[in-house]
Amino acid sequence: MAASPREEDLLDAIVMADARFHGEGYQEGFAEGTHAGITEGKRYGALHGAKVGSEIGCYYGFCSVWRSLLQNCADEKHSKKLKVLDSLLGMIQDFPYEDPTYSKLHEDLDKIRGKFKQLCSLLSVQLDFGFCNKGSELAF
Amino acid sequence: MSWLGAAGIGKCSDEVFDEEANELQLAQREWTNVMEQRAKEGYRDGVDAGKEASLQEGFNQGYKQSAQLMVKSGQLRGTLNALLSWCRFLETGSAFLARISSLLDAVGWYEEKVVQRLGSASQLPQPAELLDAVQDMDLNIDTAQQEECTGSEDSMLFNKAPDPAAAPLKSSSEVVLPDSESHKMADECKSAEQNLNWLIQQTACLMEQLRLSADVIQQVQQLEN
């Protein structure tokens, strides 16, 4: 039994109203959600970025000073240390620490950490373990 | 509980359902409820979709900004740690240890404050705000710093960072920001930036005294805003 055109219109109106109300709510919600997502994402991103930035900066500062100190010594026995320092400084400078989309961010960071440990034992520097990445204890 | 009454619950009378007019009203109310429900569902779906679409972008923005911000204090921390380990090797180095340690503590404190702010504030300070903050900073600190550099060593050994309240700041009304919250944040930025610059200057002084080469001292000085 076919519905009369009038009934179809009415049915359409009901179905459309349903979609319209949903759509209006959706649009409003989407704008709100986008704003909230940016804000929330920024906060999480900021905490992660702070940790990585601070850690990488710390390695860089540490290596720069030690390199300068050892270079001035002009002692043969420091050549191995200087080699490790140069290689580590190169790794740090090539590391795009500020780019969260870099796919090997964690991989490279771990390599830098490993190299840094090696350097510290070469320099026989007794460091409080993880003095450069103490940030990892930050609560998220 | 007015809704109990409106729904006729709790009353013996069922007059609400007796009249046709009321039935129509009830149907209308039901229709409105259903449509409100649909709008609410749509809103919820929209919020979820909007969040999902923007979280990553927000994360990336926040990550980049704060990584660039914190790499500076990190570098200062690394520099001080290197000086600390170097001074432990030197016979004459022990005189510097306490001062390096207190500077390290101060850098740690600064970083902690910045991270706290990042974790609570919805927005990172914009470069423009930071620029204002730097421009508004009282330059007396620089001259005081110069005097300390050339002055007696003991006096600068255990100096703490300048008290933000004691250092006169220009009125924050010069920084054009929309609301009081932003004023507060700009003020916090000012004192934080001020403290970091002060720590950088102190560290550079220390490096001069330890006779480090000019290029590595310059590297530290360049951290200053």
Q: What is the pLDDT of residues B20-34, one digit of tens each?
A: 888 899 999 999 999
Whether residue A4 is contained in a domain is answered as: no
Whether residue A1 is contained in a domain is answered as: no
Whether residue A139 is contained in a domain is answered as: no
Q: What are phi and psi of B132, to 5 degrees?
A: -55, -45
Residue range of the domain that includes A94: 11-123
- In A39-116, which ranges are E strands? none
* Average pLDDT along chain A, 140 residues, taken 10 residues at a time: 67 84 95 96 94 95 93 79 94 95 94 93 74 48
Residue-level pLDDT at B168: 38
Higher pLDDT, B173 or B74: B74
Total structural domains in chain A?
Answer: 1
The pTM of the full predicted model, rounded to 2 decimals, is 0.71
Q: What is the pLDDT of residues B186-215, one digit of tens each?
A: 666 667 777 899 999 999 999 999 888 999
User: Is the CB of residue A66 less than 8 Å away from at least one CB of chain B?
Assistant: yes
Whether residue A89 is contained in a domain is answered as: yes
SS3 string of B93-145?
A: CHHHHHHHHHHHHHHHHHHHHHHHHHHHCCCCCCHHHHHHHHHHCCCHHHHHH
Residue B60's SS3 state is helix
Beta-carbon contacts of B71 under 8 Å, excluding residues fewer than 6 positions away, are A53, A54, A56, A57, A60, A97, A98
Task: Report CB contact under 8 Å: B69, A24.
Answer: no
Whether residue A69 is contained in a domain is answered as: yes
Q: Are B167 and B43 in contact (CB under 8 A)?
A: no
Whether residue A17 is contained in a domain is answered as: yes
> Which two tokens mark B90?
């030197």
Q: What is the pLDDT of residues B54-113, one digit of tens each?
A: 999 999 999 999 999 999 999 999 999 999 998 988 877 788 899 999 999 999 999 999
When scoring B30, B36, B43, B181 by the number of chain A Cβ atoms within 10 A, the one with the most, hence best to mutate, is: B43
Task: Report CB contact under 8 Å: B66, A47.
Answer: yes
Whether residue B223 is predicted with pLDDT greater than 80 in this model: the reply is: yes
Whether residue A116 is contained in a domain is answered as: yes
Whether residue A76 is contained in a domain is answered as: yes
